[in-house]
Every structure is written in C-alpha cells, then in structure tokens.
Chains A and B, each alone.
Chain A
Amino acid sequence: MTISWSRKVLLFGGLALAAFGMLYGLQYALFAEHPTLDQMGGSLAQSFDAAAGRDPAQSQAALERYGETKYNYVREVDAHSHWVGLAMLMMVLGVVFDGVHFKEGTRQIIASSLLAGSVLFPLAVILQTYQHGALLPKALAIVGPGLVITALMAAAWGFSRTRSTA
C-alpha cells in the first residue's frame, strides 16, 4: 500500500502545522495573553480616568495604547486559530485527495499551494503586528489566502470530475 506524495504533503503538513499552531497558542497563552489583556483593559480604563481628571493628552495616549494592543491581540489570536483550522482542512483533504481526479503532478501543485498558503497567511497576520502597513506582510496576506482559495477551488473541481477524465 503506497500513499501519494500529494497526500503525504497534506497529511504530514497538516499534522505538523496543527502541532505548531497549538504550540504557538500555548506559548502565547502562557507568556503573553494575560499581560496583553491586562494592558488592553488597563489602557481603556486609563483613558477614561485621565478624561475624568481633565487630562486630554494622557487620555488620548492611553486610547492609542488601547487601539495598538487590541490590534496586536486580535492578530495573535487569529494567527493561532487560522494555523490550526487550516491544518485540519489539510488533513481532511489528505484523506480524500485521491478523489481529486487530476494527474498526480497537478495534485502535487494543489497540495503544495495549500500548504504554502496555510503557512504564509497566518504568518502574514503575525508580521503585521511587528510593522503596521509594511509591504511584505500585506503582500503575504494577499498571496496566502489567494493560494488557499485557488487550491480549494481546484480541489473542488477535481472532486467533481469523473475518474476517466483525469
């Protein structure tokens, strides 16, 4: 019993990505999430507190800190959940990928695209927290989901083809 290269990419890549995504989530929960949440809530409270003390500059600075912290928090959590979610999708497709009725070469391209997109898309989300508005994260944030959506559409097309047309 042999397993095709494309299925190996999806199954092994999916398992590895799920473990990585979970490890990322675990380290974030252990070392960063609680202080981040404290800072987020604290900044908003400080902003209102400073406004009550009639200190608009302090209030504005605290509000900006709140916006910045929330921006980063949302993306950290999104990256974790998207890595694990995309990994699960890869594993599911890995089980039925022989039903994608294309030549193995085409299936390899689809599987590799799905793996690349699944790694790059959440990575781009994380990179946005280091450099807001930078070109590379923006480009990766477009390329990553593009690869995933194209690969999924190709897989759906492959599923719909009959075996004889492959």
Chain B
Amino acid sequence: MSARRLYIFGGIGLIAVGLMFGDIFAVFILHQNASRQGEALLAACRAVAAGDRGTVNEIFARLGSMLEDRGTKVDAHVHMIDAGYLALLLALVQPYVAISRPAKKLMASLFIVGGVFLPVGIFLIHYVGLAYSPFRAIGWASVLADSAGFLLIVVLIAQAWGFWKYLGSRQLAEPELPTDGGMPRRALLTGGTILVLLGFVHGAYYAGALLYQHEKMETAILQRMIGASTNGNLELAATEVNNFGNLAGARAVNLAAHSHIIEFGLLAMLLSFVQPFVFVSEKWKRRWVKLLLGGSVILPVFVLLELKLGLLAGGIADVGGLMVLVSLIGMLVGILRYSGTLDVRESLPPESAL
C-alpha cells in the first residue's frame, strides 16, 4: 500500500471511528451527563443554604470529575476526526512532497499511529488520572496524548520540508490524483464549499451576537443562584439551575452546529479528491455522496433545532451522523476493493505514468 493510500484508508477510518464514538457519546452519555450536572448544582445550592461547606466541596469534586469526563470524551471525538482530515489532506499533497518513497510510507504509518493514540490518550485521561505519574498535574494518559500529538507535528514538519524541496526541483514526486469530473466529485466539492461557507457565516453571527451575551449571562445566573441559596430561597435557586442548564445547552448546540457543518463541508471537499480510489459503480458512488451530503445538512440543522424541539431533534441529528458514517463506511469498502492501479502508476516516474 502506497503512502497516499495509507493516508486515505487511515484518514477515512479515523473519521468513521470518531463519528461513531461521537454518536454513541451523544446518545448514551451527553444528555444523562447534563442532567447529573444540574442535580449536582442543585445539591450544592441546598448545601449553601444549610451553610454546609464540607458538602459543597464534596459536590464540586464530583462535578469537576463529571466535567472532565464530558470534556475528554468530546476532545477524543474531535481530535480523532481532525487527525483523519489531516491524513486525507496529506494524501492530496503527496505529489508535492519530495522525499523518498520509503520515508513517505514511514511518515504515513507514524501519522496514523499518532492519529490513533492521540484520542485514545485523551479518552483515558479521566480514567487514569494521576496514577503512578511523576508529574504534579499531568498523568500518563496525558503523556500518551501529548507524545502522539508531537508525532503528528513531526510528520507535518517533515511534509513541509518535503514541499520546500519540491519547490526547489519543481519535479512531481508522484502523479497527481486524476481529476475525474463526474457528478460525485462535483457534488462533493460544491456541496462542501457551501457547507463551509454556511458554517463560517453562522460562526460569525454567533461570535458577534451571542458569545459575549452568553458569557455575561453565565456569571449573572451563577450570581443569582448563589445569592438565592445564601438567602435560603431554594425555589429561585432551582430556577437559576434550570436557566444555567438551558444556557449551557444553547451554547453547546450553537458550537456543535458551527463546528459540525464546517467539518462536514471539509470532509465532503476532501472526499471529492479521493473518489478515484473508491472502487464502486457510479450508481453506488452517487448514493454514498447523497447520503453523506444529506447527513451533513441534517446533523447541524437538527442540533440547532434541539433548543426548540428537544430530544426529537437530537434523535434526528443522530440519524444524520449515522448517515455520514454509513456513507464513509461505504466509501471505505470501495477503497478496500480498489485494485491498486494508481499505486502502480505511482511506482513509475511521473512523466511515464502520465
């Protein structure tokens, strides 16, 4: 398997596993975790009202652990998918990276290893903690994640160096990917660009109109919550806990919609380039593309609608994620079936291959 195919196969695999993990997390953990956080805050309010400092500290230790649990799972999901995107990108730029074929394969293998261990390390942070760690604040799982991240950086620097060498020689290291102008490629490229643009516009709107407002609201809600608890008004405190949960939900869905629509747009654009490696009939290619673009719209739109429609929208959003996942697995199967014609071309000098 050539370095380029390794990047493509590993990249799509990382994205598929990252999406699957995200879907499982959203369905089985996210909402339950949010309701446990609300219960813990309410218990903290009761402890404040009773003047029980010991219980307050106990609750916050538990709350910190809950937040770490949620944060590391979100980070593992995001980093696995992003490593997959970078792998697909590196597959695209391989013709412009002037380093030897074995070195390229080694770099590709190291990148995939780093892309796997980075999210695995992040996921384990909550469970491993500081056990047997010689450091004050960093546990062994963090060390694993940071080492894997460093590996990715080393590979990226090597690729940049290879590109610098290419600029000196102006000789393609291997043939560029064929520019097959069929419907799947055009649909993915156009659809992807539109999704990215929509994501940017939504992000700019959120940052300009809502971000600062939400930040101010959070402190104000906490202030009222603590004040009400101190005065023994637990009914008002419970209302503020509810407001706090709603605000956290509003922030989360806006950020999730923004990041998912842009990431799916990028994914569509990236997948448009690797279509020559997807060895399935044109009819099936079109089906996978429609499924992917459909899911890429459904997920972020229904994530945003969660505030209005509640869990129903959440369920539909999860189906959107599943659609993207199924389409990715379909393409992955196509890449597995691919016989290696383009790899043979890569082993020839670029001029003769073209």
Contact = CB atoms under 8 A, between A and B. Distances in A.
A binds B: yes
Interface of A: 1-3, 8, 11-12, 15-16, 18-19, 22-23, 25-26, 29-30, 34-35, 37-38, 41, 44-45, 47-49, 51-54, 56, 59-60, 63-64, 66-67, 70-71, 74, 81, 84-85, 88-89, 91-92, 94-96, 141, 145, 148-149, 152-153, 155-156, 159
Contact of B266 (A25, A60, A63, A88): A88
B69 to A, nearest CB: 13
A145 to B, nearest CB: 5
Given A35-B137, A59-B230, A149-B197, 18 more contacts: A2-B170, A11-B163, A16-B160, A30-B138, A45-B63, A48-B226, A49-B53, A52-B51, A53-B51, A67-B218, A70-B215, A81-B78, A85-B82, A89-B266, A91-B93, A95-B93, A96-B273, A159-B190
Contact of B96 (A3, A64, A74, A81): A3
Contact of B193 (A49, A71, A159): A159
A145 B204 contact: yes
Nearest to B67: A41
Q: Which range contains the number of B residues in contact with the other chain?
A: 35 or more
Q: What 7 pairs between A and B have smallest CB-CB spacing?
A: A45-B60, A34-B137, A67-B219, A41-B64, A15-B160, A52-B53, A19-B156
Interface string B218-232: 110011001001100
A58 to B, nearest CB: 11
B142 A47 contact: no
Contact of B44 (A26, A48, A88, A156): A48
B262 interface: yes
B48 A51 contact: yes
Contacts of B343: none
B170 A47 contact: no
A99 to B, nearest CB: 8
A19 B160 contact: yes
B254 interface: no
Contacts of B223: 60, 63
Nearest to A26: B149
Interface stretch (B13-21, B84-92, B293-301): B84-92
B89 A22 contact: no
A11 B96 contact: yes
